[in-house]
Amino acid sequence: MAAATSSSPISFTAKPSSKSLLPISRFSLPFSLIPQKPSSLRHSPLSISAVLNTPVNVAPPSPEKIEKNKTFISRYAPDEPRKGADILVEALERQGVETVFAYPGGASMEIHQALTRSSTIRNVLPRHEQGGVFAAEGYARSSGKPGICIATSGPGATNLVSGLADAMLDSVPLVAITGQVPRRMIGTDAFQETPIVEVTRSITKHNYLVMDVDDIPRIVQEAFFLATSGRPGPVLVDVPKDIQQQLAIPNWDKPMRLPGYMSRLPQPPEVSQLGQIIRLISESKRPVLYVGGGSLNSSDELGRFVELTGIPVASTLMGLGSYPCNDELSLQMLGMHGTVYANYAVEHSDLLLAFGVRFDDRVTGKLEAFASRAKIVHIDIDSAEIGKNKTPHVSVCGDVKLALQGMNKVLENRAEELKLDFGVWRSELSEQKQKFPLSFKTFGEAIPPQYAIQVLDELTDGKAIISTGVGQHQMWAAQFYKYRKPRQWLSSSGLGAMGFGLPAAIGASVANPDAIVVDIDGDGSFIMNVQELATIRVENLPVKVLLLNNQHLGMVMQWEDRFYKANRAHTYLGDPAKENEIFPNMLQFAGACGIPAARVTKKEELRDAIQTMLDTPGPYLLDVICPHQEHVLPMIPSGGTFKDVITEGDGRTKY
């Protein structure tokens, strides 16, 4: 795991284990992969060295950023001393930051005071630090820019943990800044002190403890570079209060010091590697694309690749929207709750083109049986992912975008020679689509949750930005909303953090003020960050909440039905004394925050209710009461194979 990095002359570097022969994980970046000399401190897992790295001039990420820094006009004279907090805020301004999600406290109030002196940075005040970090994620996921959140020390910092872990697993560029107790009090169990650098070591791409005010400009520049380059991820910067208060004259020309990290950034793919992939495609009869979150920045290139080859596309939960879900060559989502035809395609393929994916267990099921008849091509920017779960026949460690651009050039130049034709394979998959479409049943006037999402898709023409919580509603939103473009779909995929949907919608709405933003949520997930309704109201954000309310913890209940003889173990979220009433009354939560809301219980009234929600200016909550017996189908049980797929049944049936 990557150790915390102090910005003082002393730094801490984690030692790789000499026993492990496995690839070093991404958590170790940006430290050297060369084993260190044995330390005399045998009892300590950390080694102490004089400096982090030898200073090396590393150019900022882009010419645009260089130009931005050249033309940046500071509100201070070049030789005017200012507080560390003001240096920090100006460093954010120089990175082009326009919005932060920051909740103040004793150890971070200097930063908030400095924010009030900034004319360019807007603070969107969350009502809980977890809401702030999830909002920063929503901002980043929907815009592609890094999200910034700020919290105080102690409990403020620890409230960021779920969001940092979520960003790590889903490769979201995030910069989290935390206040810390003064340097002299670190390690004394001071009031609101937690060693947040230690706490977050394994769930951040890198983190810093600032011990010298003069290091702030360099550290902020490095933090943004690390968060956005290579495989994106979260970076934490912990700033003691006395550093925030210390007066200094900043040097904005200090170079970054990341020689080890820079040397390991992937190079553009070699032509010979891409030629090998083209050869495998030309020899294939039943190829299928398996695309994930690593393809979100390559949707145009992916679209052109599919146009040139005619290869059908299956997407992971993270990759939804990288290829239009409403296109005839889209197989939509694969995996545990993926379509039958997507999983059929992988099961019967002879070539699996895995672009920007990590062979997650919710996709593969039983690893040995996954794509067992196929040759596997794996392209990923993170070398640690290649061969981690499934050994590829051909691998390229590099940017999917560059790889697709290179392959598209080869395909365009050799179109007449290759004459790719997978028409028979596509016809076979079309039959599977007709035989096993995504479907649902209707019982009387009850509203099927799948139908609610289908109607929303129709009324928004598939153009809304959708955020979700975690559970059944999340899977139905993945299945029944047809995403046309990347960054429309915002969901906690790897971590599966309930309470993500509402604050993520806040971040998406701030980043995309003209977009329709809808939080499709479940009653269990929604209530975990319900306080963020206050933020939505105060900021007057036009966030719509489509609440699929079944009074249960739906996904756990589904597993109870299938595997535990429907024995309810604390999955009922209503009031047991009043089972015929809806509890809690979500409309009153909305009303308390001055947000218009309505409830709908009958299918025939649903379309008009959703249209009213969309037509109402500003925020709106629609409480859609759904039967709790519904199951997410298809379903491949955990660790199962395509042969184990379940396509029938619900909570009305005994198993």
DSSP code string of 552-610: B-HHHHHHHHHHSTT--SS-B-S-GGGTTS-SS-HHHHHHHTT--EEEE--HHHHHHHH
Task: Give residue for tokens 């010979």.
Answer: 272
Helix (H) or strand (E) holding 430: helix 423-435
- Angle at the Cα of 143 from the Cα atoms of 467 and 91, rounded to 5 degrees: 125
Q: Looking at 113-171, which runs of residues are DSSP E strands?
A: 122-123, 147-151
* β-strand pairing of 147-151 with 174-180: parallel
Rg (CA), the chain: 25
**What b/e string do you get for 162-187 counting C-beta neighbours within 10 Å, with b at 16 or more?**
bbbbbbbbbbbbbbbbbbbbbbeeee
CB–CB of 319/292 below 8 Å?
yes
Sign of the Cα pseudo-torsion (185, 187, 191, 197, in order): positive
DSSP reduced 3-state for 353: strand
- Angle at the Cα of 258 from the Cα atoms of 256 and 264, rounded to 5 degrees: 140
Question: What order of strands is seen across the sheet that includes strand 543-549?
Answer: 489-490, 465-468, 517-522, 543-549, 620-625, 597-600
Structure tokens at 507: 């971040």
CB–CB of 457/442 below 8 Å?
no
The pairs formed by 573-581 with CB atoms below 8 angstroms and a separation of 24 or more are 573/523, 573/524, 573/527
Which residues are CB-neighbours of 97 under 8 A, at least 6 positions away?
121, 148
Q: How far apart are CA 38 and CA 456, in angstroms?
A: 61
Task: Give residue for tokens 């039958």.
Answer: 340
Strand partners, 23: none
Catalytically active residues are 129, 191-192, 241, 555
Cα distances from 524 to residues 67, 77, 582, in angstroms, run: 48, 52, 13
DSSP reduced 3-state for 625: strand
Cα distances from 417 to residues 28, 306, 461, in angstroms, run: 45, 18, 40
Q: How far apart are CA 162 and CA 166, in angstroms?
A: 6
Structure tokens at 384: 């640690």
Structure tokens at 67: 């130009």
On the 0-12 / 13-18 / 19+ scale of CB atoms within 10 A, 4 is buried
